[in-house]
Amino acid sequence: MSILIPHPDFTAPRLAAAPEARFVPAPADGVLPEGFFATTNLPTYAKIDGRWRMPREPRMDAALVRDAEGALWAREGRRVRAGQLVAVGAAEDGSEGILVNVPGAGANGAGEFKFMSSEVSREKPIDYALMARILVDERERGGYPVWVAGPALVHSRARADMTWFVRNGFVGAFLAGNAVAVHDIEAAIFGTTLGMTGTGESTSGGHGLHMRAINRVRAAGSITAAVRQEIVTGGIMHALVEKDVPFVLCGSIRDDGPLPDVITDMVAAQDAMRAHTTRATMAVLVATALHAIATGNMLPAFVAESDTADDALPTLRELPTICVDSAEFVVSKLKDRGTHQAFGVVTNAQDFMHILRLYVERELAERGAGVLA
């Protein structure tokens, strides 16, 4: 069961020729010399008197200290006394006399111990400026950004921001489910979503309001008809109709209604989605595991600049894919289902939309482009 970790081959020329580790006295109690070697939790060797030696009590975030008896210790900085000899150096590959055995580094010793190497984490910064530049670039070059949204986008105030992106030409196609449109239209007609007000309060009689919204659209015949008849006078679906942006509403087993525009057959719905995913030059997936993974399944990881059927192979570039969810899990799942190119943003959909809009507005202002309210 035990997994043995072999020592490095110290007879290799590079290591045989390595210099001795260098030690410098600590300037004060609990203070290390500048340039001290910072330990890791991996097997570590310092070359002393021509021999590679391992420290006692190894641990990360410590220094290597040689005590009066010549013994080598990994020791926390606070425990080092003035004048004790502390190893210095930054290289972990032996070139300064200290070698760290990084797993998977291979014979060339190219590995390096690192923090923060997980792919998706709420602790990673979110580069809104970059995303804003990509979006504005896409608009400028006439790209076809496909947006895929879940209902959390509508429950919260992100609805206004999503509407703004539609109105201002950042949406090539909008893919969602029945619930997104239902909540959006409930908000347009009654000012609530699932009976909850914009400040999060439940309303009396609220649990039936989404059913009443659905019923009014069914009576009108379609969402477009409901917009034309001024039953629906604002919000995302209204903007999509007004701006003639194509949308696909795919049914699901948990739908109420559904709205007349919803494609209830999943094979037909995937066919309708494909018409957009094959044209996509960018994808923004917000707050939906189901639709994000569905879209990821259908989306190439790349954009071909010309028809792949041409005699000459087209220029290819990465298809920017942004996946926003409040849990790392959805992004990891999307990647585990093969959408490796997804760039994960772990945050609340409402906040994401608001800040992204802010950065896009700034980017537009810098480029001197106008904006609709």
350 near a second copy (CB under 8 A): yes
- Per CB under 8 A, which of residues 122..161 are in contact with a second copy? 122-127, 130, 133-134, 137, 151-152, 155-157
CB-based contact 319:303 (threshold 8 Å): yes
Residue 169, Cβ density class (10 Å: 0-12 exposed, 13-18 middle, ≥19 buried):
middle
Size of the site for a second copy (CB under 8 A): 145
Supply the DSSP symbol for 80: P
Determine if 306 is a binding residue for a second copy (CB under 8 A): no
Length of the chain in residues, anyone?
373
Say whether residue 335 binds a second copy (CB under 8 A): yes
Cα 290 to its chain centre, rounded Å, is 17
Q: Which of 16, 211, 365, 372 binds a second copy (CB under 8 A)?
A: 211
Contact range with a second copy by CB under 8 A, out of 15-23, 109-117, 162-170, 231-239: 109-117
Q: Which is nearer to a second copy, 166 or 248 (CB)?
A: 248
Nearest CA-CA partner of 345 in 359, 358, 326: 326
**Rounded CA separation 103/90 (Å):** 19
Calculate the alpha carbon distances from 126 to 20, 121, 122, 351 in Å: 43, 10, 9, 12
Q: Are 82 and 28 in contact (CB under 8 A)?
A: yes
Answer yes or no whether residue 367 interacts with a second copy by CB under 8 A.
no
CB of 345 vs a second copy, minimal distance in Å: 8
Q: At closest approach, how far in Å is the CB of 108 from a second copy?
A: 14
| Dist CA 104 CA 122 (whole Å) | 27
Which stretch in 17-25, 166-174, 244-252, 364-372 sits in contact with a second copy by CB under 8 A?
A: 244-252
Shortest separation between residue 167's beta carbon and a second copy, angstroms: 21
202/242 with CB nearer a second copy: 202
Q: Which of residues 155-184 bind a second copy (CB under 8 A)?
A: 155-157, 177
Out of 82, 266, 371, 372, the residue judged to bind a second copy by CB under 8 A: 266
Instruction: Cis check for the bond before 103: say yes or no (omega within 30 of 0).
Output: no
Out of 95, 105, 314, 361, the only residue in the binding site for a second copy (CB under 8 A) is 314
Contacts of 117 (CB under 8 A, 6+ apart): none
Q: Does 9 bind a second copy (CB under 8 A)?
A: no
Angle among Cα 332, 335, 336 to the nearest 5 degrees reads: 85
Q: Which of 42, 160, 231, 364 binds a second copy (CB under 8 A)?
A: 42
